[in-house]
Structure 1
Amino acid sequence: MNAMRKLNLAVCAVALSVISSTSYAAAGGTVTFNGKLIADTCQVDTASENITVTLPTLSIQSLAVAEAQDGSKDFEIKVLDCPATLTQVGAHFNAIDSSGVNPATGNLVNKAPTDAAGNVEVRLYNVDDSSQIRVGSTGNMVNIVKVGATPGTANLTYAGGYYATDATTPGEVNAKVEYVLAYN
């Protein structure tokens, strides 16, 4: 019986040492943030400041299953007066408020005030490669075109379209996103 107690005591001691050693193991590190702020930037053309994109009216059958995508439509942000020191510009898309984006999909949620369609979001895309732009990210950068000594210009073309989170139900769709210019 004494031998059994000693064995149990030894097993408990080993188990406790394993548990206590893992609870004190170093499992951390550091995060370093680097960035840059600049004074001279491009200007957004007044026609591109507030853009309304009217997506096509579609049947719910075209968005009948989760992850179905349809009805994308391009939009363009024109920038001008870019200083010679800048070579590329892109739009960084941010949610207007914390409830305006689905963190799981990175899409804009439907915020239609009345008669809202169900199980549908608006997804942003880079037009040149059809890749998704998650809200909170920067779209593909575009080269700034310079002619002689004049300030540069660029046309940033992106798209928005319907994205089903499940079989959609009929109704209105409304989503908003804000953008700021980002430079490379």
Structure 2
Amino acid sequence: MSAASQAASTGTITFNGELTASTCDVIVDGQAADATVVLPTVSTNQLKTAAQVAGRTGFNMALTNCTGTLKTAAAFFEAGATVDTVNGRLKNTTTGGATNVSLQLLDGANSSVIQAGNQNQITKNTYASVATGSATLPYAVQYYAEGATTAGLVKSSVVYSIMYK
């Protein structure tokens, strides 16, 4: 390889970021930062074929005591052991529970699908103003059929963090 071709393949990448000591307190559906959202019991007849959804259940993240120069906030749902890395849906973690079903997260402001762990949440999720010191972030969760479902319990979880702009 010549020196000219080596030089042409080099460059510099600069990364910029910001850390803030200012954050908001989070309360999910009147509970705490860690909370449980209960979906309704639905019939497997509503989830007979792949991509059918049922049992949409809204939940709110209340942000309070937001301090400093924070302008807007949204939740980022993290990847993890309970998240399908291909589609961002939450896996049913119940041993012996319902089969062929996952949980799908939605942005409550515009009903768009949220893929947990996917970086597109940074630009896709709806941000709420926290300029007054508080805000409500609406989200939803629903059953999602991966195929013909069988009856049983469904349970999953997801870790979130609050993103600020």
Shorter-chain TM-score category? 0.7 to 0.9
- Note the aligned Cα RMSD (angstroms): 2.4
- Name the count of aligned residue pairs: 152
CA distance in 2, matches of 1:176, 1:168: 20
* Identical-pair percentage: 37
- Decide which of 23, 30, 33 is 1:41's aligned counterpart: 23
CA shift, 1:143, in A, is 1.3
**Alpha-carbon separation, structure 1, partners of 2:10 and 2:90:** 33
> Is 1:143 aligned to residue 114 of structure 2?
no
Q: 1:67 to 1:27 in 2, by over 3 A?
A: farther
SS of equivalent residue, structure 1 residue 163: strand
Q: TM-score, normalised by structure 1?
A: 0.74
1:67-101 CA-partner distances (Å, limit 9, x unpaired): 11111101111111112411111111114x33x11
Following the alignment from structure 1 to structure 2, what is the Cα–Cα distance between the partners of residues 66 and 27?
A: 46
Indicate whether 1:70 and 2:54 are aligned. Answer: yes
**One-letter amino acid of the structure 1 residue matched with residue 138 of structure 2:** T
Partner of 2:88: 106
Query: What is the letter of the counterpart of residue 158 of structure 1?
Result: Y
1:82 maps to: 66
Displacement of 1:35 after TM fit? 3.0
Say whether the 8 Å CA contact 1:70–1:163 is kept in structure 2. Answer: yes
Which whole-Å CA distance do the structure 1 matches of 2:54 and 2:85 have between them? 21
Runs of 5+ consecutive residues of structure 2 not aligned to the other structure: 1-7
State the shift of 1:104 in Å: 2.0
Larger radius of gyration: 1
Distance 1:112 1:37, change over 3 A: same
Report if the CA contact (8 A) 2:92-2:155 is conserved: yes
CA distance in 2, matches of 1:48, 1:69: 28
Q: Which moved more, 1:158-167 or 1:44-53?
A: 44-53
TM-score, with normalisation over the residues of structure 2? 0.82
8 Å contact kept, 2:83–2:91 = yes
